[in-house]
Structures are given as C-alpha cells and as structure tokens.
Structure 1
C-alpha cells in the first residue's frame, strides 16, 4: 500500500491498525479498493480566526459524508491509501495541471482505468490537519480565499469524468461516479443562491402580498423548498461530523472538546459561502478558460504550535508560502503523531 497525505496531516497508528485489520479480512481489497479516513482540524483551531476555522470544518464535514455510501464510490480528501498494484495498473499519478485536485483525480482515474471496479473503503480513524493561519486576520482571510480558489480548480475533473464516462460501457457504477463528480462541482457554487437568496426572497414576496398562479406558483414553491432542503441537508452533514470529531478527540487524540456553545460559530457559514465558496469557485472556473497560468498557484502559510500532550516537542512549525507549478504538490512535512496507546478498534 502507498499512503498519501498532506504535509500538515497527522495519521495515528490506529489508522494503520484498522487498515491492516480490513485487509487481513479481505485480501481482494488490495486489488479493487482505495482506503481513506475522514479528516479533522484539531492541531491549531483554537489559535485561528473563527471564520476560516469554520470553513475548514465544513470542508471536512462534506468530505466525511462523502465517505459513507452503499455504492462504495466517493472521493478521498488529503489522506488516502492505494494499493501499489493499482498504481501500476493505472499508470501512477497524473502530473499535469488538470490533476491539481490530486486526491479526487486519482480516484476517478483508478475507477475509470479499471473499468469501474475500484471502490472507496472508509477507515474511520480521522487524520488530524492544520487550519490555515497567517500573522494577521486580514492575511489569514486572504490566504484562505486563495486556498479555496486553488481547491476549486479541481472543477476541471468534470470534463475529465465526462470523457472517461463515454469511453466505458454504461453501468450503474459509472453513472454514480459521474453523478458524484457533478454533485461535487455543481452544488457548491449554486446551492447558496437558493439557500441564502432565492428562497428567502420568494418568501418575502409572499409576505408582501404577491400572488402567484400556475407555473409561477410551482417555480416559487420549488425554489423555497430547495432552499429549505439545502439548509436541512447542511445541518444533517455538520451534526454527524461534530459527533465524529468529538469522539475522535476523546478516544484517539486525547484532547479536550469545546463546549456546546461552540456550535454558534457555524453562523459564519452565512459569510463563508460567498467569500470562500461562490466567488473563488467562479474565479477558478474562469481561470481554466484562459490560455495561460493553469499550472501556477499559491500555497498558503500554515503555522502550528505542537502540543506536549501529543508526545511531540513543543515548538513552532511553519510552512512558508510558495508558488506551485504544473500539477499537484504537497507542502513540506511538519510532523507525525506517534502512537500513545493501544488501539480501541477491534
């Protein structure tokens, strides 16, 4: 197995233990599985701006809900383990600018190159990552914006998935993979308009005495329902993620959880969907229309003070900002969390 992880990611030995247990129970998994854990941001969140912190948590929550599905089709984020045999069979990783979303792109490539045989196997031992942080609030918010723009350049996986989809014989699995790709890149920049603007605006029209009939009435009601449903789905994504996050803090990383009042910070979503989602998504999509600059991007600064209670030296670790070129690149490794107790996963 080859385990790929972001430079700021800690993976606990429990992850390796659980990975070994799954493989020991089904050796065929080494031929048709990619393994991935959920992610959390617990290394420095108490020191970071609440707006950028909540954006990272929502990012991790969406990745968490993506892991669980009967189809076994989903996308890893930041950390995943892939059999070396699969790497060889599909021609390893692509290194062109179009593969900038390397984790998602690698799953799609492996899935389509193996005739839709690859599946995603969740390993429920969360990897621990670092929230983006700079010297000032303004610099931190600015860096998070450009990090989001870099993430959303992965929208180029939509035409890649379409091209690969039509190269295969149609199957339910390939339809699901294409549908999940479209979902991942169409809903984020469009759903906020229904949830934050169109839905409330239609309700306001009702309150001000406007009357609708026929097709207009149907469209207004559908818009309101879609916006309300989006909010319910968002809550249904965040609550299980927070439950997983708190259990992971307590059982795996032996860290103290925040008080329940912490949930009030999620009100930052009302700002973040525009500042860190819609606007950078539009910018990222527009960049792909330009005939230059596809392989250049800026990696944001991350700082973290490692903690004594994780059995690591107390020091400042820092990844300096740099310019990336042509294809996916990982940041400089900060540190790894050693095992401090026996695995509770049996």
Structure 2
C-alpha cells in the first residue's frame, strides 16, 4: 500500500479517535485552541444543518407536487370514465340511439372548473405518454438473504400491479446459496407470479467466493451479471434499466414513470443515475419510538441530499441506472471496502466516467420497512446491528479520497473514461434526443463529492461526542469550583476566567450550541406534513393509519437514538478500519404478515 493510500485509510479512524481525545484533553492541555476549535466546529455544523433544511424544503415541495399531480390525474381519469359511462347510458335512452353531443361539442371529458387541477393533469399526461411508449425494459434486482417469503411476495406483488409489468418489467430475484431454503423459496415466488412479468430471473450467488465480502453488493454484482447474460440474448441492452432495491421496498408505479421521464429527457441516459427518497411507513407503528424516529431522521438526510443542483446526490437503498453504465464501469465491486453498495456504486460510476455519471432526483418516495422483532429490547438491538452494518460504508471515505487525489487512480479513471466514451458513442440517446456528454469531472466536482462523503460519515462519528459533551465537560473542567484542574494544575491559567475575550468566545459557543438542533427540529416539523401527504394521497391510507400530533413525542427519543444508532456504531466502524476486520453477514430481522385478501 502506498503512503498516500495509507494516509487516506487513516482519515476515518483518526477523525473518530481525535474527537474523543480532543474532548477529554483539549480543555486541559490547549484550552485556547480548544475554544477556537469548538466555535469553528459548531459554526460549521450549524451552517451545514441550515443548508440541509433549505434543501429539504425543496425536496418536500417537489415530492408533494408530484404526488398531487398524480392524484389530480387519477381523479381526472376517474371523472372521465364516469362521464363516459353516463353519456353511454344517456345515449342509449334516446329515441334515435345516437349520442347527443354536449354544448361544448365534447362527449368524453367534461370541462373542469379547477384550472390548477387541469394543469396538473396536463403535466402528468406528458409523463404517461412517455411511459406508455415502453421504450425501456426495467429489471428490478431484489437481493435478499433469509428474508421472510411473505415480505418478498408482497414487494413483488406491488410491482406486478403496475400497468406495464407484463410487457416491460423483469424481476431478478437474487438469492444466496448459503441460505438453506433459498431454492424452494425462489421456486414458490416464481410460481406465484407466473405470467405477471415479462420475465422472472432467479440467480443464486455462490458462497465463499475468494476476495468477496458477503453482503448486498456482492449479491447484486452477481445477479446483475447473470441478468445481463440472459437479457442480452433477447433484448437490446440499450433498453435495459436496472433498479436495485431492497427486499422490503414498496415501489410505486409513479416512480417508474418518472424514471422513464428522466431517461427520455436526459441528454445522456447512459450516464444517469435515478435516485429517489426513502420513506418508512409500512410497519412504523409496530416498532419502538426510538427506532421509528431514527429512520425518520435517516429519511430526512436522504431527502435533503437529493436537492443538489450539480447532480451530486447519493442514492440510498433503491436507485436506477442503465445496463450500459453498469457494464462500462465493471458492475458492482464485491470486496469488503464496497459494503455500502449504493453509495459505493455511485462513486464508482462518477469517477470511472470522469464525472459524466450524475444523479437525477426522482421525487417519488420508496416505502420501506422498519426493523421489527418480537420484543422491545430485541428490536432496539436489531436496529443497532443494522446501524453498525450501515456505517461500515465508512470505507467509502478512503475510496473517494483515493479516487479523487491518487495519481494511479486518476490514470485508471482516464482509461475507463476513454473506454466509456468509445462504447457509448455507438449508442444513440432516447428517441428525439442527441447524445451529449456531460462536462468532464472538474476538480471542484471532486472536492464537492469528497466533502459530502466526509460529511455523511465523519459528522456522525464526531457530532455525538462534541455536541452533547463538549460544553458540559468544558464547564466542569474550566469553570466549576469543583474543577479537578485546581488541584492537579495549580499554575493553570484558565482563559475563560482570565480573559474577557475567551469568556465571550465560550458564551458564543454556548449560544451556537443551543441553536444546533433547531434546523433538524424544523426538518422534523416539515416532515410530519410530508408524511401525512404521502400516506393519504399516494398510499391512500386513512387517518387512523398515519401519524398524528401525538407522534411528535417520538422526537423526545432523539438524543438517545443519536447516541445509540449513530455515534456509537459510526465510531466503531471508523475504529475498525485500523484492523480492516469483517463482521458476519447478519441481516436485520423483519416480521411481516401479509394482508388478508377477502
């Protein structure tokens, strides 16, 4: 390993360990520098949090607009069908048997008194028109390991209910050989959905492959390659779009329609990664409030990230990209440094294509399932295990740094980009569109990507320690009359006491510290309104099935959730980078009961 790569690997553990050491020894050995450090850290954190809130506002607006457009269009179609039915009944009652035209000369669609509704319908009609053309074949890769069969059946059934499922959908059920009952489970699912899709492919990822790390990434990599081999025999690969999802992802038809729209309108659909927000509503009332509010915060962070104006938004859990792009970057990585499969694949596509691969946000939420077990304590523990697995994605800190600044990686990137351009030049864009490569990755783009990766992993590993403990510990060590420094350091010069300037600085730190949670709480308030809109207008849930004002009490668990499900697992993941150890392949437990069909 080169010296640069070694330094990049040390960034994560050094940051996590440094936060703890600075917290404990900063006030003692370098109090003035420590006060400056706290003010800088708190101010930066507050700026980032305000920026997150503003971006979250944009995401919320776009999600609500898409949902309301969709609802208006559905209502418009329903009114049209009802009107057509009435006209047929009326015409059959006339003496001459002919349809009597209305005053406006139209018999199929009535004039609407709501112009806003008409505009929404017109916008959705354009989306529907693109979707109806069926230009793309959607291959849904569903990796799973020891997941309940009813949960998988429900997830696939929701896709089967989409209008174009039988003509443009391919299910790729990615099984693991190490699961004892995988064969019978896969056969049962395929038999259950016979004729519901264009194709139903079952792949079985071999166990104990040398150099591979067990997890979603290696399973997806194997399944995607196998699906490519089978689909390319009968379908033009330029038409195939992979949607990587989780076993518990409920994907609305609206998401697929907006993916079609994004690809059809993109100047280069083969460098487009479609990234939706995630949403937890399938079993939220069955889990502890601490688990529920943790996943809400997770959703908020993913949602705000999507409103990045440069297309540098990271996907989470579910995302879509062309088979061409997956093939050109060498599919998904399978080593233990690629355990955060969604973010890692995005980074790989971005760097391997010289920055041409960018995100297009799809503002349609994907409904996921919270971790759920049989008891309260076991549910808390299961969520902690899941958090540890999620934060193992800290390996992407070193990967992004190496890809951005290592000369060897830049040379490899240039070769990959050249190969990418050579291959994609022969692939025309969607009908009516001309292939136009996005601007090459600039140094600024690389810095922005690296910053967002550091933000995603280093803030969780440091904020819990510094935000919650820095001010109280500083007060105890430097201000309290019971300070141990008075006994052990009789000559110690306390800057907060001896200097008006540093006393003012510490007061400013305390004031900023009070403001730190405010943007997050504003996001939570905004989220509550969004949650109700999604539940009622997209998923058609009744008022008794969605969140109410009583659920605001969930946020009292935030300090506990932040420590247990963010600070501790992220710090552990960072420190584990020193040994580069690998944990057992353990999936989060989910209890799922299929709804009874009457």
TM range (shorter): 0.7 to 0.9
CA drift of 1:143 comes to 1.0
The 5 Å alignment of 1:1-346 reads 1-24=241-264, 26-167=265-406, 168=410, 171-199=443-471, 211=497, 213=499, 216-217=502-503, 220-221=506-507, 223-255=509-541, 256=543, 257-290=546-579, 292=581, 294=582, 296-307=584-595, 313=597
Q: Deviations over 1:97-140 (max 9, x none)?
A: 11111001111111111111222111111001101011111111
Distance in structure 2 (CA, Å) of the matches to 1:222 and 1:99: 41
Distance in structure 2 (CA, Å) of the matches to 1:103 and 1:296: 20
SS in 1 for 2:452: helix
Distance in structure 2 (CA, Å) of the matches to 1:32 and 1:217: 53
Residues 23, 30 of structure 1: 8 Å contact kept: yes
Q: Which protein has the bigger helix share?
A: 2
Change (3 A) 1:220 1:15: same
Residues 479, 497 of structure 2: 8 Å contact kept: no
Residues 457, 570 of structure 2: 8 Å contact kept: no
The structure whose Rg is larger is 2
SS in 1 for 2:529: helix
Residues 288, 379 of structure 2: 8 Å contact kept: yes
CA drift of 1:307 comes to 4.1
SS in 2 for 1:298: coil
Alignment partner, residue 337 of structure 1: none
Q: Deviations over 1:254-290 (max 9, x none)?
A: 1232212211211101111111111111222222222
SS in 2 for 1:304: coil
CA drift of 1:240 comes to 3.5
Alignment partner, residue 156 of structure 2: none
Residues 270, 321 of structure 2: 8 Å contact kept: no
SS in 1 for 2:559: helix
List runs of 5+ in structure 2 lacking aligned partners: 1-240, 411-440, 482-495
What TM-score do you get using the length of structure 2 for normalisation?
A: 0.48
> Which shifted more, 219-228 or 82-91?
219-228
List runs of 5+ in structure 1 lacking aligned partners: 315-346
Q: Deviations over 1:20-73 (max 9, x none)?
A: 22223x142413221111111111111111111111111111111111111221
> Which shifted more, 209-218 or 78-87?
209-218
Residues 196, 227 of structure 1: 8 Å contact kept: no
SS in 2 for 1:302: coil
Residues 194, 226 of structure 1: 8 Å contact kept: no
CA drift of 1:218 comes to 6.2
CA drift of 1:295 comes to 5.5
Q: Taking CA–CA contacts closer than 8 Å with sequence separation of 6 or more, which of the two structures ends up with the larger relative contact order? A: 1
How many residue pairs get matched? 308
Alignment partner, residue 322 of structure 1: none
